[in-house]
Amino acid sequence: MKEDLSKINTKTYNLEKIFSKAKDFLPLYGTDYVEFYVGNAKQAAHFYKTALGFQSLAYAGLETGVKDRTSYVVYQDKIRLMFTTPMLTGGEDIHDHIKKHGDGVKVIALWVEDATKAWEETTNRGAESYFSPKVTSDENGEVVCSGIKIYGDTVHVFVERKNYKGTFMPGFEKWESNYNPPNCGLKYIDHMVANVGWGEMNVWEDFYNKVMGFANLITFDDKDISTQYTALMSKVMTNGNGRIKFPINEPAEGLKKSQIEEYLDFYNGPGCQHIAVATNDIVSTVSDMKKRGIEFLSIPDTYYDTLLDRVGDIEEDVITLKKHGILVDRDDEGYLLQIFTKPLTDRPTLFFEIIQRKGAQSFGKGNFKALFESIEAEQARRGTL
Ligand code: FE2
């Protein structure tokens, strides 16, 4: 175990070299928002406020003149999440999405300087259009959006908001609520992970490379990510400024069913597996979220017996990390702390990761084994291993 991990610790990430490979025809400022299609947007928004510390931001529905859907937008620091549910008439695509996938991520919206150019550049390079550039306006200015299709039924929407001063975007009103639980210290989206089908990882690597101008940050093969029973492969794609990172997973052969296969079965195809959100104080964030009812994967106590031998000096108290099941990994530039929730939906599909980076830019390769054994224990309980 120690030998393996010492090899990992010598892995260097030449970020400047990697970023220079990314093309700049599609400058991205960051994630604009993430939209979920859900069975009940009102209750989903309440859950994310109560259990994860999000704050009310914007609303669209019958009261604002929208008849086919209802959307609630919540935020925490730089993170914006939208929950959308279909109404009685119209919104068939939302009904279909929920019937097929359960609650899940539909839109990964990206903040751009020019949504028209973003759509032209990507569709010219082979992306399938979701919708062509569309201007909406109100008394606060205008927003331009366009969209392209990605894996499964998921899409990217490009959002240009340089001429807009309002709360969120035209069509939404500010959501004033009397219920405002405190935040949990979540800051921004660190990465969002895709699960794709057998043999599709390279297809989507190619898509992000050719259509979006992303570069490959790191590749994990099935030997990197496997336990005695199950395996997967992953490639992490990044844009040129490193603000957008999309790891892409596909299942690999193992003695038992890969967690990626389980996801594909229950989500009924490819989709977003997890959203990693950053905090500056993971111990405080996690203990707060536990009090609010969020369940995290549990990690065997033995993981902590040799933790300091593997990762060297860390500022945190190991007993506290063990109590919460927080994982630690190190690369040349520093270390990171991370923990994973159990699925936040009834189907074993979408979950969240809480991550605190202390220099390290990597993805916790040293934690894969402990993490996957924990996921396998959950799969066994669900009868899907
Ligand atoms: Fe992650």
- Banded pLDDT at 249 (limits 50, 70, 90): very high
372 CA distance to ligand 1 centroid (A)?
12
For residues 47 and 117, the answer to whether their CB atoms sit within 8 Å is no
What is the pLDDT at residue 13?
Answer: 59
* CA 108 – CA 268 distance, rounded (Å): 19
Measured in residues, the chain has a length of 385
- Banded pLDDT at 300 (limits 50, 70, 90): confident
70 CA distance to ligand 1 centroid (A)?
30
- What is the tens place of the pLDDT at every residue in 257-280? 888 999 999 999 999 999 999 999
Tokens 């359960």 correspond to what residue?
102
374 CA distance to ligand 1 centroid (A)?
15
With 0-12 / 13-18 / 19 or more C-beta atoms within 10 angstroms meaning exposed / middle / buried, residue 206 is exposed
- 373 secondary structure, DSSP code: H
pTM of model > 0.75:
yes
93 CA distance to ligand 1 centroid (A)?
29
Say which CATH superfamily domain 28-174 falls into: 2,3-Dihydroxybiphenyl 1,2-Dioxygenase, domain 1 (3.10.180.10)
- Judge whether 28-174 and 186-382 match in fold: yes
249 CA distance to ligand 1 centroid (A)?
11
250 CA distance to ligand 1 centroid (A)?
14
* CA 183 – CA 203 distance, rounded (Å): 38
69 CA distance to ligand 1 centroid (A)?
31
For residues 144 and 135, the answer to whether their CB atoms sit within 8 Å is yes
177 CA distance to ligand 1 centroid (A)?
32
Chosen CATH of 186-382 out of 3.50.30.10, 3.40.1360.10, 3.10.180.10, 3.40.630.30: 3.10.180.10
3-state secondary structure of 336: strand
237 CA distance to ligand 1 centroid (A)?
12
* CA 366 – CA 310 distance, rounded (Å): 9
246 CA distance to ligand 1 centroid (A)?
9
Question: Mean pLDDT for the chain?
Answer: 92
Q: Domain residues of the chain, as ranges?
A: 28-174, 186-382
245 CA distance to ligand 1 centroid (A)?
10
Q: Which residue would you say has higher pLDDT here, 253 or 289?
A: 289
* CA 373 – CA 247 distance, rounded (Å): 20
Q: Which residues of 347-363 are buried (b: 16+ CB within 10 A; e: fewer)?
A: bbbbbbbbbbbbebbbb
* Candidate from 60-74, 203-217, 240-254 with smallest mean pLDDT: 240-254
Which whole number is the average pLDDT over 307-324?
A: 94
Q: Which residues of 255-271 are buried (b: 16+ CB within 10 A; e: fewer)?
A: ebbbbbbbbbebbbbbb
- Measuring CA to CA, how many Å separate 310 from each of 199, 303, 361? 33, 10, 17
Which whole number is the average pLDDT over 39-43?
A: 97
370 CA distance to ligand 1 centroid (A)?
14
For residues 50 and 292, the answer to whether their CB atoms sit within 8 Å is yes
- Banded pLDDT at 8 (limits 50, 70, 90): very low
- 365 secondary structure, DSSP code: G
179 CA distance to ligand 1 centroid (A)?
31
